[in-house]
Structure 1
Amino acid sequence: MTDPFGRAIRDVHRGEQSEPLWTVDGDERLEHPIERFYFVERDDEVYETLDADGLATPLLDLGAGAGRDVLRFQERYDGEAVGLEPSAHLVETMRERGVDRAVEGDMFALRESFGRDRFRGVYAHGTQLGLARPPHRLRAFLADLAFVTDADAVAVLDNYDPGADGASDLLGWRPDPTPGTGYRVMHFEYEGDVGETLLFRPFTPDVLRDACVGSAWTVDGIRYSNDHHYEAVLHKE
């Protein structure tokens, strides 16, 4: 399977990028801001907020990209921080950048990569949670997340809120009559290499709360970074 997304980010890390990485939906395309999204350091207050949420090691960074956050977790916490990525190119990039533990794997098949009670903290930044497509796959993800975390675990997960005004401006946005959910369809292109079509189902915090009913998780907090992007803080019940 081709991987233009991971290959382009790896090339930026190595100073070998020859063309832009494009985010594409039909005839519409936008240059993906690789440097800003994956390499520019985030403010300390971002990590201070995560400290206050109770993130602790062993910590799993889902969709860790080039390792920007997991590298900071290594510096910040006394313990193991693991970066998980389905892209072999990005796993290679994380290792080259100094991530101690970079694992190739699928965040929606966590039991294939990790054993029971493996982690105390889980972090996901990049709205990959929308690929869970609620309700069935989201509940399955929450169950797997519970399996690989211990009884005192904290998870901080992000997504887009399809009910917010700014969400409809995202490339690939589609209307959805289902309350609390949306559609986003897109793919990546790099150097003529076309990636698989990605179908996101962004959902509101209330949809996440409903999915947690009967699971090991409860949503203890929601914070918005803008009108349509939010982080949810989950604790084990």
Structure 2
Amino acid sequence: MSNDPYGRAIRDHYLGKQDKPLIDRDGSETQEHSIEQWYFGEHSEGAWRDAWMKGPLLDMGAGAGRDTLYYQEQFESIAIEVSEHLVEVMRDRGVRDVRLANMFTLRSHFDRDRFRSAHAVGTQVGLAGSMAGVRQFLDDLAFVTTPNATAILDNYAPENESTEEVFAFRNDPMPGLAYRVYHMEYQGEVGETLLFRLFSINQLRQATIGTPWEVAEVNYSDVQWRAILEKS
């Protein structure tokens, strides 16, 4: 398998073999990646977003399959991940349809109108890298979803002062924009540098222009937003 300390650490945690922490590193600053909390907790049944999810569902960047395991009991659900380690973990945990695929190349993996809903919770949409990349992602997501589809995305809210305290935060001179830049380390293995584009809901609305999507509802926490998108 390719260099993937992130996926390997989560796999080792699942197997009970993790003997060192997964570390997020930004220069000299580090934090321990909270694997159990972020990947192996229970899906909160009746969560706000559940009412918007219908099958067939695409779970993008599904991690260890926490949400897919819940949704697949309600309707057809497909999980995708770029980590071979995480694909193995999900299959072992009982995810019935999991595929090695990148959420930013959806047209290469799925036919037009394949899904009624799509779900990407974990701020991974920021890995589009730029607002042009976000707009291209939304266009590709529109291709693989039905005309009446809904989608859930989340990200950090750079307009909130408290977000500046988030690990690896970088300011941007443009209003409503910022970055996070860091890499992960596990057992001496160093992962590629990750660049997350942070953007506000207003920036998301701008990105939907020229696509069939519109922002239907938003839920805020102190440092993040979670948005429901519908096709118009």
TM-score of the two chains, using structure 2 as the length reference: 0.97
SS of residue matched to 1:2: coil
What's the offset of the Cα at 1:180?
1.0
The residue aligned with 1:27 is 28
Q: Are the equivalent residues in 2 in contact too, given 1:130–1:159 (CA < 8 A)?
A: yes
Once the two structures are TM-superposed, the CA of residue 17 in structure 1 deviates from its matched residue by: 0.6
Aligned residue in 2 for 1:91 = 87
CA contact (8 A) 2:43 2:70 kept: no
| Aligned pairs (5 A) from 1:3-14 | 3-14=4-15
Distance 2:162 2:131 in 1: 24
- What does 1:49-88 align with in structure 2 at a 5 Å threshold? 49-52=48-51, 54-75=52-73, 77=74, 79-88=75-84
Any idea what the Cα deviations from partners look like across 1:178-235, whole Å, max 9, x if unmatched?
A: 12100110111000000000011100000000111121101101101x2111111000
Conservation of the 8 A alpha-carbon contact between 1:152 and 1:235: yes
| Alpha-carbon distance in 2 for matches of 1:149, 1:160 | 25
CA displacement at 1:139 relative to structure 2: 0.9
- RMSD value over aligned CA atoms? 1.0
| Cα separation, 2, equivalents of 1:26 and 1:102 | 34
- From 182, 190, 194, the counterpart of 1:194: 190
Q: Return the match for 2:180 from 179, 184, 197.
A: 184
> Which stretches of structure 1, 4 residues or more, deviate above 3 A after TM superposition?
none
Unpaired segments ≥5 residues, structure 2: none
CA contact (8 A) 2:181 2:193 kept: yes
Q: Distance in 1 between matches of 2:187 and 2:110?
A: 35
**Which amino acid counterpart does residue 236 of structure 1 have in structure 2?**
K
In 1, Cα distance between equivalents of 2:154 and 2:142: 17
Distance 1:216 1:31 in 2: 39
Residue 147 of structure 2 is matched in structure 1 by: 151
Q: Is the 8 A contact 2:22 2:184 kept in 1?
A: yes
Tell me which amino acid in the other structure corresponds to 1:50.
R
Tell me, in whole angstroms, the C-alpha distance in 2 between the residues paired with 1:166 and 1:62. Answer: 27
One-letter code of the match for 2:55? Answer: T
Structure 1 gap segments, 5+ residues each: none
Q: Is 2:226 the counterpart of 1:228?
A: no
Q: TM-score, normalised by structure 1?
A: 0.95
Q: Is 1:117 aligned with 2:113?
A: yes
> What is the CA-CA distance between 1:29 and the residue it aligns to?
0.7
Q: Which residue identity lines up with residue 17 of structure 2 in the other structure?
A: E
Matched positions, count? 231
Counterpart secondary structure, 1:109? helix
Residue 46 of structure 2 aligns to a residue whose secondary structure is: helix
Cα distance in 2 for partners of 1:156, 1:6 equals 23
Q: Structure 1 residues 37-46 or 161-170, which shifts more?
A: 37-46
In structure 2, give the amino acid aligned to 1:45. G
Residues of 1 paired with 2:49 and 2:54: CA distance? 9
